[in-house]
Chains A and B, each alone.
Chain A
Amino acid sequence: MTAVQQSPPAGPPAPATQAPPARRGSAGRLRHAPEKPPAGIARLLPRTVAARVRALTALSLVLLVVLLGIGWAAVANAREGVRVIGHDAGPQVVATGDLYFQLSDMDAQLANALLIGDAPGGGRDQAVARYDDNRRKAGDALLKAAKLADETTENNTARDLLDALGRYERLAGQALLLDRQSPHPSGPPSQQVTELYRQAADLMKLDLLPKAYNLTLDNGTLVRHTYEDRRSAVLMGRTGVLVAGVALLATLAGFQLYLAKRFRRLLNVPLALATIGTLVLVGAGTLMLSGQAGHLRKAKEEGFDSILALSRTRAISNSANADETRFLLDPGRADAYEQVYLSKSQTVLYLKAGNLTQYNAAVQKDLSFEPGRAPFLGFLGTEANRPAESAEQKAQLVNVMNGVLRDYRKVQANDRRMRDLVKGGQRDQAVAARGAAGADFTRYDRSLQALIGIHRKAFDDAVRDGDGGTSGWYAVLPAAGAAIALLVLAGVRPRLAEYRWSK
């Protein structure tokens, strides 16, 4: 368009013969062009060949800088996303998720210690040692959770947790001391001890565990927000790179055409190289950013979400296991503990059932599933329905999940047997059967950990890919930018020189 406007009516003359080269302002006066002086926006357009060449050069360089800037920001967002999810808040949230497990295991071990009593084998000492170990780990996790807390309500929750943990410790200490003062064989301890344990268990169930759980949910929110913000920033950056890249490519192509027309040359090689360089840079950049968005998604959805959900499953299963101990420990509350066991079991794997007997039976029916169509809900239902990327991964997940289900059924079968024994008046045998059932529960817990392991690997892989995918781009961007800029200048310089000579 602009070329036509500038050309004398006779047609385009060879550039070398064009009268006095291009000095801004003088052209109009010298050439007495028949057309009216351009009005409006057209006035802003350069009106000599050299000025246009300079303008196109400037435009190319500006677009290049814009492209590099957008690319740089998108890389920064991708790296920050991977850093927070993969190395900072993500792992810490998983650690605070273990807080729930450690707290509920403290209570489980306290129940064990009180139930075992002075039975030979040192069972009580082992239980107390595990209790102490859990308490130490819970302290660590609580500290991490408090550090992550970035809002007043979360800080208050962390503080309340610390306070409640102190009260729990006091009750637990009293119960253990009192229990030692009145030796008894395996089975329910004295009424006074049971009363203290009830207070401790209520504090754990109604105060500590809900707060620990909610704190992990709050911290999970933090990770989710980072993920969504960074991922959409990366995707927007990708769009930005594409738009700026296409604009730069169009400019370079137009520049090439213009030069070919004005200067009667077939191809400006440096400019062509700059165009190809840009094309490669934009293509590679877009691919890299798509990849980063994918790594972020994989780390969050295939790794983090499942790890967190399964660590909750582990914790809830463990505390349900402790409810079986409590059922034996405190016959006065047996109904309530049975009900709580049912509701925790249904949280883990939901099948419709009105009471525990129905549930125990329902679990023994066919639980085989196709991912996406699991015949059960609850945490395990959600995990069974998670989409897997590759067929291989899918097969692996189904395989491990089937192991979890198999072991879970065993745990529920043991539960039924234990309760039937109690209902049949054989409480001692039921207490004795807890030992063997413990091994089955441990196997179930290991299967859950194996499932967590698969997701942890997906998480680690995605984080490693995320780290690797952007490494070097902080060097690539300036280097490629400098190369393209130099090529453009190299392509333009001889053309502009022609004007200087003819002057």
Chain B
Amino acid sequence: MVEVRARRTAAAAAALTMLGPAAACGLADAGETSVATKDRLVIGVNADQPGVGEREGDGPYKGFDIDVAKAIAGRLGVAGKNVAFKRVYSATREKMLQDGEVDLVVASYSVTPERKVKVAFAGPYYVAHQDVLVRASDAGKIRSIHDLKGRRLCKVRGSVSFPRIHDEQGVAALPVEEDGYSACLTDLVENRLDAVSTDDLILAGLAGKAAANGRKLTIVNASFTDEPYGVGIRRSDVDGCEAVNKAITGLYQDGTMPQLLKRWFGNTGLKLTTTVPQFEGCV
């Protein structure tokens, strides 16, 4: 606890020193172009999440996040040909934003108070929930996370999803270690484990991929956390953040978001929310 607190304080101090010069010379800050006025955008995305953000080889990026990113860019007045995607990793997202390597991050990027010290978040554009994916044949037996007791649950190294169930919710599931959720999916389909738990949108993507190969999986719809997916943006770009919020509001109002959700996750049995989420606020 002490260690965590010390780190947080250090992060807060770092944020203050960052804020200092920015506040002192507002003009120099305004010199950095806001995302709201850029003609070209580099958007950080995931490449390993089927249905959310995926890239096969050197092909195009595909998925819900990718379409959301394009739609937001469109509303910011940046045409598709001027939008470039760049792969980001969990560990590097904040730094890439701070260094200006990417203008926005749309990569199932949960808004957390710790991250908000380093970067700002527009949105969230969707609030995902941690949920559980099982084989359709087991759907009758596993109805909540408490039913995972004594069953084999995928544990992805470095992911917080397993500890959340095992340590925080106190459900004694049996860990089956893997390196990524695609491997979990293979294990689930081939009966080497009983359940996979992470954000419902990612699960829905996995279920969709399995369905394409003729394997039926079911999402339990027993959500137990809120994961607000935000659009990461440089902390000082308040105008850009507000413009992205406006874009997201517009995308819900004109029906684009409900349509995209339906397109990517409509037939996965996932309960989808089609109304605009509560924004974080830009200042």
Q: Which residues of A contact B (CB under 8 A)?
A: 151, 153, 156-157, 160, 206-207, 209-211, 213-214, 217-218, 220-221, 224, 232, 305, 335-336, 339-340, 343, 346, 350, 352, 354-355, 358, 362, 365, 372-375, 377-378, 381, 385
The docked-state distance in angstroms from the alpha carbon of A350 to that of B113 is 7
- Are A157 and B249 touching (Cβ within 8 A)? yes
The docked-state distance in angstroms from the alpha carbon of A213 to that of B279 is 7
- Are A377 and B169 touching (Cβ within 8 A)? no
The reply on B190 being an interface residue by CB < 8 A is no
Which residues of B152-174 have CB atoms within 8 Å of chain A's CB atoms? 163-164, 167-170
- In order of increasing CB-CB distance, the 10 nearest A-B pairs are A354-B168, A210-B278, A377-B113, A350-B113, A355-B168, A207-B275, A213-B278, A153-B249, A156-B253, A217-B281
Q: Which residues of B contact A (CB under 8 A)?
A: 1, 4-5, 8-9, 12-13, 16, 26, 113-114, 116-117, 144, 163-164, 167-170, 223-226, 238, 242, 245-246, 249-250, 253, 273, 275-279, 281-283
Report B-chain residues with C-beta under 8 Å of the C-beta of A207. 275
Please tell me which one of the listed residues B13, B167, B278 contacts residue A209 in the complex, with CB atoms under 8 A apart.
B278
- Are B245 and A214 touching (Cβ within 8 A)? yes
- Are B16 and A372 touching (Cβ within 8 A)? yes
- Are B117 and A352 touching (Cβ within 8 A)? no
Known: A373-B12, A385-B12. A214 touches B279 (CB 8 A): yes
The docked-state distance in angstroms from the alpha carbon of A305 to that of B282 is 12
Chain A: minimal CB distance from B190 (Å)? 31
Chain B: minimal CB distance from A262 (Å)? 45
What residue in chain A is nearest B223 (Cβ atoms)? A336
Could you give 14 example pairs across A and B, Cβ below 8 Å? A153-B253, A157-B253, A160-B253, A211-B275, A214-B245, A214-B249, A214-B279, A343-B225, A355-B168, A358-B168, A375-B5, A377-B8, A377-B12, A377-B113
Interface hub of B8, B168, B253, B278 (most chain A Cβ within 10 A)? B278
The docked-state distance in angstroms from the alpha carbon of A336 to that of B13 is 35
What residue in chain A is nearest B169 (Cβ atoms)? A355
- Are A217 and B4 touching (Cβ within 8 A)? no
Interface hub of A217, A305, A343 (most chain B Cβ within 10 A)? A217
Chain B: minimal CB distance from A344 (Å)? 10
- Are B5 and A224 touching (Cβ within 8 A)? no
Report A-chain residues with C-beta under 8 Å of the C-beta of B242. 221
From DSSP, what is the main secondary structure of chain B's interface residues? helix
- Are B9 and A335 touching (Cβ within 8 A)? no
Report A-chain residues with C-beta under 8 Å of the C-beta of B169. 355
- Are B226 and A339 touching (Cβ within 8 A)? yes
Chain A: minimal CB distance from B35 (Å)? 15
Interface hub of A209, A346, A354 (most chain B Cβ within 10 A)? A354
**Extra contacts besides A373-B12, A375-B9 (19): CB < 8 Å:** A151-B246, A153-B246, A153-B250, A213-B279, A214-B279, A217-B281, A218-B245, A218-B246, A220-B283, A336-B224, A340-B226, A346-B113, A350-B113, A354-B163, A354-B167, A355-B169, A362-B1, A373-B13, A374-B12
- Are B224 and A335 touching (Cβ within 8 A)? yes
Please tell me which one of the listed residues A206, A336, A377 contacts residue B275 in the complex, with CB atoms under 8 A apart.
A206
- Are B117 and A377 touching (Cβ within 8 A)? yes
What residue in chain B is nearest A157 (Cβ atoms)? B249
The docked-state distance in angstroms from the alpha carbon of A218 to that of B244 is 12
- Are B275 and A210 touching (Cβ within 8 A)? yes
The docked-state distance in angstroms from the alpha carbon of A447 to that of B225 is 30
Chain A: minimal CB distance from B203 (Å)? 17
Report B-chain residues with C-beta under 8 Å of the C-beta of A210. 275-279
Chain A: minimal CB distance from B43 (Å)? 22
Chain A: minimal CB distance from B188 (Å)? 24
- Are B276 and A214 touching (Cβ within 8 A)? yes
Please tell me which one of the listed residues B117, B144, B246 contacts residue A335 in the complex, with CB atoms under 8 A apart.
B144
Known: A209-B278, A355-B168. A377 touches B9 (CB 8 A): no
The docked-state distance in angstroms from the alpha carbon of A375 to that of B9 is 7
- Are A211 and B276 touching (Cβ within 8 A)? yes
The docked-state distance in angstroms from the alpha carbon of A17 to that of B277 is 88
The docked-state distance in angstroms from the alpha carbon of A207 to that of B26 is 37
Report A-chain residues with C-beta under 8 Å of the C-beta of B113. 346, 350, 377-378, 381
Chain A: minimal CB distance from B131 (Å)? 12
What residue in chain A is nearest B144 (Cβ atoms)? A335
Chain B: minimal CB distance from A477 (Å)? 28
- Are A339 and B253 touching (Cβ within 8 A)? no
Interface hub of A160, A221, A381 (most chain B Cβ within 10 A)? A221
Report A-chain residues with C-beta under 8 Å of the C-beta of B167. 354
